[in-house]
Structure 1
Amino acid sequence: MSVTIDRPADRRGADLSRRFTTSAHALDSEVTPNKVFHDWFDEQRRVNQFDVRPIPFAELTGWHFGDGDGNLRHDSGKFFSVEGLHVSTDWEDRGSWMQPIINQPEIGILGIVVKEFDGVLHCLMQAKMEPGNINTIQLSPTVQATRSNYTGVHRGRGIPYLEYFAQPRRSRVLVDALQSEQAAWFLHKRNRNMVVEVVEDVEPHPDFCWLTIGQIHQLLLRDNVVNMDARTVLSCVPFEAPNGGARGIVRGGYREGLLRSLSADTRSLHSTGEILSWLTEAKARHELVQRSVPLHLVERWHQREDEIGHEEGKYFKVIAVAVGASNREVTQWTQPLLAPVEQGRVAFLVRPIDGVLHLLMHAKMEAGVLDVTELAPTVQCLPGSFADLPPERRPAYLDLVTAADPASIRYDTVQSEEGGRFYRADNRYQVIEVGDDFPLQVPEEFRWVTVAQATELLRHSNYLNIQARSLLAGLHTTW
């Protein structure tokens, strides 16, 4: 006779998933009712004074181009630098190229404090200004700070609620994983994504409010409200398949397949072990050589008094800005920012396989990736960069995404990327359902993955890239 052992750790994990799911089903709250939130958020944007303007590099204060290498760095040697990178790879015949890249070796903290009110977990969220944000203020995690920030290099005000994330910690850790950031623009950048629970009373701060996960999910249906750092932390939250009614507008087969996909016990096309083996094989088989080069020697990029840009006007520019912000730790500063030249497209193609919704994920190599490749959405690109290329050299499935029938689109919003380093960078994020006639056999660099498998991988580092995590957070709004 076989016996199933109910391990305490398994029970704790199931209970945690249930608590997060209960919070996700709470679409309003007496702690911060939706109307109160919207009034508060509008007031935050109205009363706080912000000014962000591009300036010539010569007007940067506390930053300089190095005499020997031309790299753009802070006088303190902290924060980040803009350097040159030479990339050589055999991945998809991409060959070699040079580009500027942000080097920020510090590991920052992206953390959300949660607390139960009337049996429902609420997240302590911040209305935070970032200089690169399209609409300046967005909803951010409780703590969003680089090591230079939280160790006081900027000599500004202290960071509220940092004590719940630093040792000795006054909280219980629920989620904790190192996750990457945009590898096309950052070199080996990672942040610690955390969710911690408190039971003590938390002193209120005027720039913060308590929201359920369900309230945040509703805000994820709107353009440019929930920032990238909040989205990546939320993507790491485990959910169980809910028993309650549908929250999203999509009904029928899609939602039924999604609920099955949330369950770890559901049959998947490939086992998690097979997916990990496939990804490990790709990392072992392919070569990626990243070599730092002086910024002023990066080929096909030209520096002018107010920007560093590609000779064809593609990809991105490096610019400088002057910032004034009344509610930041430092109220005035200047800094470089990376500015993409167009809006990106990011999309999951999804389809049911034996009644279980699967996401088509892409093993994608990018210039600054830490370990050869990460799992990305089906499509992730700046479309204009490929407009002059023949179809065989354009990203797979890009044409399908751009021509998708509106009736097949399950999620569709424009979301900003990290506003502390990027200037008005945004992507159109979509989940697009394809029918049973879409082939299960896909190119070698793609695999079908369930939502439960993706969530399991997010317990660990460097499996899903930041765009996949942002889109997974959006997918959870469609239950």
Structure 2
Amino acid sequence: MALAAGRVGPADAIARFTLSATAGERARSPITEFHRWWAERATIERFSVTRVPFRELDGWHLAGDSENLVHRSGRFFSVEGLRYRGDGPGEQSQPIINQPEIGILGILVKEFDGVLHCLMQAKMEPGNVNTLQLSPTVQATRSNYTRVHQGNMPPYLEYFRGPDRGQVLVDVLQSEQGVWFWRKRNRNMIVHLTEDVPEHEDFHWLPLDQIHQLLKTDNLVNMDARTVLACMPLARPSTADCSPDDPFAWALLNSYDEELGLHTRTEILSWFTESQTRCEWSVQRIPLSEVTGWSWSDDDLAGGDEAPFRIIGVRVNAHNREVTNWSQPLLEPLGHGLAVFLAKSIGGVVHFLVQARKEPGLINVVEMAPTVQLPAVAGAVCDQGAVAYAMEAAAADPRRVRFDALLSEEGGRFHHGQTRYQIIEVGEEFPVEVPDEYCWMTAHQLMGLLDHSHYLNIEARTLLACVHSLW
């Protein structure tokens, strides 16, 4: 089928994304203009998030014998129970967030002077450690955009739904945290427009290279933006600011070449299918009342000393959201996570060590994850490979740490959830041979997997977006 006039073909889209990722002085405005706008939004916006007892959560209640924490509308999300038998001894149970609705995480893109720019949003989320973070153009659950809350429609939603939407360049369902969510998926979208777009004070146009630069700032680019950014296909850039004295930088560019790689795509898919086949975990949702080792107090639902999180309640005031006042539960992680890609130049091509990781809340239980991903589910057993690679990351020479930032997880459901994301170069002495649950992949191979659902988990997608910042 021929493309209509003005439509962008797949190869052309890759070229335009790649040009945007190396925009430099061709950007619509310098990065200093973003920082001026960001400081202004942080000064002008007024928000408050107050922790409250569960009895003060307006519209939320414990549902009968199940004691699931639910909203009176029956929509949004609920806190339920999960029971699973994993690799360790015995069964485990825990609370989990069940949000069956598929939301939209969408970035609107448009060319200015021949360079693709992304329309990004300064968005408040109640769980953000710093309240305001850089978000996609549209970040909305189905309950939001069908106005269950009787509030305003999210800005720019019409470009992603219905007859007025632009040309879709990316549209794929992707998972979210399988240790905290039950089978949650969101629609990751990138929509291209050629016509003028109404300006809004909470939104700003940025080329990809500026967004990639902002990824290096702690707690600035939010999780929902990072997953969509990871889904943008890129090619090896024709120009990049690489030092001739940095072999890793040149090998990284080779990682974007579709012809190079230790393994073929078929070999990678076969490895992953084998990992899924070997998984014998059994998982089921249960009433929250049947979760063992967890107990209610007036203001939290908590497990024992080794529980990785608790459930709390908050009251929110935010004048620029679709609804200005509401209350809700949040999952509060008790500590920071760690997600690391170990990166090795193999034959002059940077490869990233990927693991097939099990998480009970994922649809298929197994997805591809960073080399190191901690903390694990409470009670889960780390295999010897995971322990060894975590030690490798902890002992890394600082000069080999190519990326290091503390980034927030989903602020709409998690209270101050943060993960340290690192990309660490390993040397020639690091073996190419790895345990069965691990596989070396290039940047190009990782990007190719994101054409489809349920391959890369949310932490791996964040790290892939961070890989692009190393050009």
For residues 94 and 168 of structure 1, the distance between their equivalents in structure 2, rounded to whole angstroms, comes to 53
For residues 184 and 361 of structure 2, the distance between their equivalents in structure 1, rounded to whole angstroms, comes to 8
> Pairwise mapping of residues 235-384 of structure 1 onto structure 2 (< 5 A)?
235-246=230-241, 252-266=246-260, 268-382=261-375
Q: Does 1:50 align with 2:44?
A: no
Partner-residue secondary structure (3-state), 1:217 = helix
**What is the deviation of 1:404?**
1.4
Residue aligning to 1:399:
391
Q: Which amino acid aligns with 1:376?
A: A
Q: Is the 8 A contact 1:28 1:214 kept in 2?
A: no
Partner-residue secondary structure (3-state), 1:478 = coil
For residues 134 and 106 of structure 2, the distance between their equivalents in structure 1, rounded to whole angstroms, comes to 13
Q: Does 1:177 align with 2:186?
A: no
Deviation per residue, 1:300-354 (Å, 9 max, x gap): 1122111111212430011100111111111111000000000111100010111
> Aligned match of 2:403 in 400, 408, 411?
411
Partner-residue secondary structure (3-state), 2:9 = helix
For residues 107 and 170 of structure 1, the distance between their equivalents in structure 2, rounded to whole angstroms, comes to 18
For residues 190 and 134 of structure 1, the distance between their equivalents in structure 2, rounded to whole angstroms, comes to 24
> Aligned match of 2:454 in 458, 462, 477?
462
Partner-residue secondary structure (3-state), 1:274 = helix
Q: 1:318 to 1:28 in 2, by over 3 A?
A: farther
Q: Which amino acid aligns with 1:343?
A: H
Deviation per residue, 1:360-383 (Å, 9 max, x gap): 001000120111200000001128
Q: Does 1:162 align with 2:157?
A: yes
For residues 390 and 244 of structure 1, the distance between their equivalents in structure 2, rounded to whole angstroms, comes to 42
Q: Is the 8 A contact 2:121 2:204 kept in 1?
A: yes
Q: Does 1:446 align with 2:438?
A: yes
**What is the deviation of 1:274?**
1.0
| CA-based RMSD | 2.2
**What is the deviation of 1:395?**
3.7
**What is the deviation of 1:396?**
4.2
For residues 328 and 157 of structure 1, the distance between their equivalents in structure 2, rounded to whole angstroms, comes to 8
For residues 192 and 141 of structure 1, the distance between their equivalents in structure 2, rounded to whole angstroms, comes to 12
Partner-residue secondary structure (3-state), 1:397 = helix
Range with bigger deviation, 255-264 or 462-471:
255-264
Residue aligning to 1:63:
60
Deviation per residue, 1:375-416 (Å, 9 max, x gap): 0000011289699x9995964411211221101100000100
Q: Which amino acid aligns with 2:197?
A: V
Q: Which amino acid aligns with 2:256?
A: L
Q: Is the 8 A contact 2:178 2:362 kept in 1?
A: yes
**What is the deviation of 1:436?**
1.2
The alignment-based identity, stated in percent, is 52
Q: Which amino acid aligns with 1:378?
A: T
Partner-residue secondary structure (3-state), 2:263 = coil
**What is the deviation of 1:105?**
0.4
**What is the deviation of 1:448?**
0.5
Q: Is the 8 A contact 1:250 1:410 kept in 2?
A: no
> Pairwise mapping of residues 209-248 of structure 1 onto structure 2 (< 5 A)?
209-246=204-241
For residues 358 and 259 of structure 2, the distance between their equivalents in structure 1, rounded to whole angstroms, comes to 31
**TM-score, normalised relative to structure 2:** 0.95
Deviation per residue, 1:70-111 (Å, 9 max, x gap): 00011000000000000123x4x4652000000000110000
Deviation per residue, 1:143-176 (Å, 9 max, x gap): 0000000100011111111111102243111111
Residue aligning to 1:4:
none
Q: Is the 8 A contact 1:352 1:358 kept in 2?
A: yes
Partner-residue secondary structure (3-state), 1:25 = coil
Q: 1:180 to 1:301 in 2, by over 3 A?
A: same
For residues 294 and 21 of structure 1, the distance between their equivalents in structure 2, rounded to whole angstroms, comes to 48
Partner-residue secondary structure (3-state), 2:118 = strand
Q: Which amino acid aligns with 2:82?
A: L
Range with bigger deviation, 395-404 or 165-174:
395-404
Residue aligning to 2:114:
119
Range with bigger deviation, 418-427 or 273-282:
273-282
Residue aligning to 1:79:
76
Q: Which amino acid aligns with 1:220?
A: L
Q: Is the 8 A contact 2:59 2:71 kept in 1?
A: yes
Partner-residue secondary structure (3-state), 1:68 = helix
Q: Is the 8 A contact 2:92 2:379 kept in 1?
A: no
Q: Please list every run of 5 or more consecutive structure 2 residues that lacks an aligned counterpart in the other structure.
A: none
Q: Please list every run of 5 or more consecutive structure 1 residues that lacks an aligned counterpart in the other structure.
A: 1-6
Q: Is the 8 A contact 2:94 2:292 kept in 1?
A: yes
Q: Which amino acid aligns with 1:145?
A: A
Q: Does 1:31 align with 2:28?
A: yes
For residues 323 and 51 of structure 1, the distance between their equivalents in structure 2, rounded to whole angstroms, comes to 6
Q: Is the 8 A contact 1:416 1:424 kept in 2?
A: yes
For residues 67 and 114 of structure 2, the distance between their equivalents in structure 1, rounded to whole angstroms, comes to 56
**What is the deviation of 1:285?**
2.4
Q: 1:62 to 1:243 in 2, by over 3 A?
A: same
Q: Is the 8 A contact 1:108 1:145 kept in 2?
A: yes
Q: Is the 8 A contact 2:65 2:289 kept in 1?
A: no
Size of the alignment, in residue pairs? 467
For residues 27 and 212 of structure 1, the distance between their equivalents in structure 2, rounded to whole angstroms, comes to 9
Q: Does 1:147 align with 2:142?
A: yes
Q: Is the 8 A contact 1:32 1:209 kept in 2?
A: no
For residues 94 and 411 of structure 1, the distance between their equivalents in structure 2, rounded to whole angstroms, comes to 36
Q: Does 1:204 align with 2:196?
A: no
Q: Is the 8 A contact 2:385 2:435 kept in 1?
A: no
**What is the deviation of 1:250?**
9.9
Q: Is the 8 A contact 1:51 1:325 kept in 2?
A: yes
Q: Is the 8 A contact 1:386 1:394 kept in 2?
A: no
Deviation per residue, 1:111-132 (Å, 9 max, x gap): 0000000000000110000000
